[in-house]
Amino acid sequence: MPTSRPLRRLGFLTIGLFDPDDPARGHEATLAMIELGERLGFDSAWLRHRHLQHGISSPVAVLAAGSQRTSRIELGTAVTPLGWENPLRLAEDLATVDVLSGGRVNPGISVGPPMHYDRVRPALYPDTGDAEDFSYERVRRLLGHLRGEPVTEGGPRTEGFEVFSDRVQPHSPGLGDRVWYGGGSLRSAAWAGEQGLNLLTSSVVKAEESEDFEQVQLAQVRAFRAAHPAGEAARVSQGLVVVPTDSASPAQRRRYEGYAAARLPRTTSPQGPARMLFAPDLVGPSEQVAERLQAHAAFREIDEVAFALPFTFEPDDYEQILTDVARLLGPALGWTPDA
């Protein structure tokens, strides 16, 4: 079954796992993975955002380092939860890295209270916790800052020998158009479309009108494009967990299959009060994985992916997976590396 949209852009997503007793090694491994992705021809590399865990807590800083070790691959966050961030300060950091990278940053964001907010509020917002606004307004503030809207009153000014701008500096033209929203519901997908954002979909969605993952995700993609000024041309990236096994050793195959099997039970029905649906991990030879993707209702309507790497594997495993994705799976889906 051919896809209606041949795969145009190929990316990968990692959590950047590290040993708390040796964090430098894990961060270096993530940077090496980004370099490998560029050599293999991937269009983008994305970092998850993890707070108070043994995964990357500052993806913008890591992407800054990655920008100096690569020249072509685009660099994204998937996603940065804005509840932890001051939008103005985040805009400064993102614009700085975008300038350093030559315009390769793709900020992925989401809203809502920080995870375990009651536990972290005394440290994160000790004086303003009850007044913080974790709604879509936080996204609008960030977008305004990235797009160069004034952040002070009275315009630019000079005080003595110092010159002050009225907008975030540095300003990086085009960065505001490369913002992605991580949505998992019909409401968030439609809102992202109304704002002219790009949409990041993942292996987790909210079961609303159906308990069929593919149909739920398809409905969200269509709701997003229906609300977006660009319509069918609006950008959507899908982020399923995909593990090709073509060049894997027998031990690696067993480990990958065991990982997917352990996570499979949660995919059979909505989970928790929020009724979250999880997609099964796709593990197997590239030809078989390609067939499953080409039959996936939502995949058939997108032409960009950022395949998610499993959390707990080793650097050699990731090298094998990325190599098979770039050399076998991507081409089987119609993708060709950017010359």
Give the tens place of pLDDT for each residue, 293-338: 999 999 999 999 999 999 999 999 999 999 999 999 999 999 998 7
Tell me if residue 113 falls in helix, strand or coil: coil
Q: Is the pLDDT of residue 210 over 90?
A: yes
- In CATH, what number does 9-332 get? 3.20.20.30
* CB-based burial label for 112 (10 Å; 0-12, 13-18, 19+): middle
Q: Is the pLDDT of residue 339 over 80?
A: no
Other beta carbons within 10 Å of 222? 18
- List beta partners, residue 308: 13, 241
Tell me if residue 208 falls in helix, strand or coil: coil
Residue carrying structure tokens 């609008």: 140
- Domain ranges across the chain: 9-332
Tell whether the torsion through CA atoms of 211, 212, 215 and 216 is positive or negative. positive
> Could you give the C-alpha distances from 267 to 236, 259, 271, in angstroms and in order?
23, 14, 8
- Give the integer Cα–Cα distance in Å for 115 and 278: 19
Taking the CA atoms of residue 246, residue 311, residue 79 and residue 127 in that order, the dihedral angle to the nearest 10 degrees is: 180
- What number is the average pLDDT over the span 206-212? 94
pLDDT tens per residue, range 236-264: 999 999 999 999 999 999 999 999 999 99
Give the pTM: 0.96
Tell whether the torsion through CA atoms of 102, 36, 285 and 79 is positive or negative. negative
Instruction: Tell me whether strands 105-106 and 236-239 are parallel, antiparallel or unpaired.
Output: unpaired
Report the pLDDT value the prediction gives residue 154, as an integer from 0 to 100.
86
Report the pLDDT value the prediction gives residue 4, as an integer from 0 to 100.
60
Q: Is the pLDDT of residue 73 over 90?
A: yes
